[in-house]
Amino acid sequence: MSSDQNPQGPPGAQAPGTTATGSIRRPKKTGLATGPAVPGVAKTDPIMVIDSVSRRFGGLTAVDVDHLEIPRHAITALIGPNGAGKTTLFNLLCGFDKPNSGTWSYDGKDIAGIPAFKVARMGQVRTFQLTKALSLLTVLENMKLGAPRQKGERFWSAFIPSIWRGQETANEEKARGLLQRFRLDAKEKDFAASLSGGQRKLLEMARALMSDPQLVLLDEPMAGVNPALTQSLLDHILDLKDLGVTVLFVEHDMHMVRHIADWVVVMAEGRVVAEGPPDTVMQDRAVIDAYLGSHQDVDLGVVTGRVPGELGESAKELLQEIEVAEAASIAEAEEEK
Ligand SMILES: Nc1ncnc2c1ncn2[C@@H]1O[C@H](COP(=O)(O)OP(=O)(O)OP(=O)(O)O)[C@@H](O)[C@H]1O
Ligand SMILES: [Mg+2]
């Protein structure tokens, strides 16, 4: 990793404190945008710039993003209701899928249409909504698959062990170091199939770090993770930022988003409907409306009490979600005081 990858906390950051879970609150990065937080706002130092990207599946437009910039050395959350197009956008940005139109650049280089393995070589890795650990390989073998440009993979070199043995040892050492950091070292010889859902998520993240990435894309890192592992996963993501890695993650858990994201991008029906710092964006009307996507039978007027009417099951659920988000926001604001 380069020497600029150890920022000692950006200027204008909040003072560190302690969270409800007992961990140290780390400073949020501020001053990321060059203007008011509206969809498409330019960033002071973008690592990724996306323009007019669309992806259609038959008659359905899954992604239709006009302009979006991802800030460097920060944690950006991509949120939105089910089917908003978050995973599809991830797939495009990583080269796992091809758009119908659009361009995007990574670190100033145009990478639209470049396949996933080349994008990964440029320092961008991703994890999946459903973990992709290879069940019949051991934990250590899974880790080694994450190492970049392995010499033994070339056809002729595979027959000459002296070419790849040194690299193999270095990769193994690095893998063990990461497994220790993620507290999976005791499982190194176990098959990935024997890990719990949360441990697989940790393994996937550890494996992503084998290539010293500059940008990590995490698709729902918290889904299916046992609450006992949640805090450690959050800390690992915050550690990445401290190491100078840029993180873009998709998540439905709003508490987590509020806790670790420096910037939040909200998608609905394929478009970016809002973006900004977590506290402001979550109060945004467009964001609350976007979440109605998963509660389409709900009349927002009834939920907010403006229109008289019966609250159905879905409306009650939505109201509860809003109340929980509000309570968390108030509690956190008080904690900060
Ligand atoms: N391969 C595909 N073929 C057809 N339709 C697809 C395909 N992949 C995604 N879609 C559709 O595109 C839309 C966006 O899906 P996507 O998985 O990107 O949403 P998401 O925001 O990640 O949702 P979730 O929060 O449920 O993971 C959905 O309507 C989905 O059904
Ligand atoms: Mg998804």
Cβ-contact 65, 50 below 8 angstroms: yes
Identify the residue whose C-alpha is closest to ligand 1 atom 12: 62
Distance of CA 315 to the CA centre of its chain: 29
β-bridge partners, 274 = 266
Q: Domain span at residue 79? A: 3-336
**Residue 271's closest CA among 85, 76, 104, 77?**
85
CATH of the domain at 199: 3.40.50.300
Helices (H), 70-138: 86-93, 116-121
159-177 in b/e form (b: 16+ CB < 10 A) is eeeeebeeebeebeebbee
Query: Is the CB of 80 within 6 Å of ligand 1?
Result: yes
85 lines ligand 1 (CB under 6 A): yes
CA pair distance 205, 53, nearest whole angstrom:
27
- The reply to whether ligand 1 has any atom less than 6 angstroms from the CB of 83 is yes
| Per-residue pLDDT, 272 | 94
CA of 88 to the centre of ligand 1 (A): 6
The closest residue, in CA terms, to atom 16 on ligand 1 is 85
- Alpha-carbon torsion 202, 207, 212, 214, what sign? negative
- The CA-atom distances, in angstroms, between 94 and each of 26, 122, 312 are 29, 11, 40
pLDDT tens digits, 158-172: 566 665 566 678 889
Q: Tell me, what amino acid is at 336?
A: E
Residue nearest to atom 6 of ligand 1 (CA): 57
What distance in angstroms lies between residue 268's CA and the mean position of ligand 1's atoms? 12
Q: What is the three-class DSSP state of 1?
A: coil
Q: Is the CB of 57 under 6 A from ligand 1?
A: yes
> What's the gap in Å between 127 CA and the centre of ligand 2?
12
- For ligand 1, atom 29, the nearest C-alpha belongs to 83
Ligand 1 contact, 91 CB (< 6 A): no
Strand order in the sheet with 215-219: 124-126, 215-219, 246-250, 75-79, 263-268, 271-276
d(CA 235, CA 259) in angstroms, rounded, equals: 11
109's enclosing H/E stretch is: strand 109-110
Q: Report the number of distinct structural domains present in the chain.
A: 1
Spell out the residues 6+ positions from residue 320 whose beta carbon is closer than 8 angstroms to its own.
Answer: none
- pTM for the full model? 0.78
Query: Which pair of tokens denotes residue 126?
Result: 């991703």
Residue 308 to residue 332: CA distance in whole angstroms: 32
User: Which pLDDT belongs to residue 74?
Assistant: 97
Ligand 2 centroid – CA 244 distance (Å): 26
Tell me the CA–centroid distance for residue 61 and ligand 1, in Å: 10
* Residue ranges, the chain, pLDDT below 50: 1-16, 18-22, 296
Distance 155 CA to ligand 1 centre (A): 38
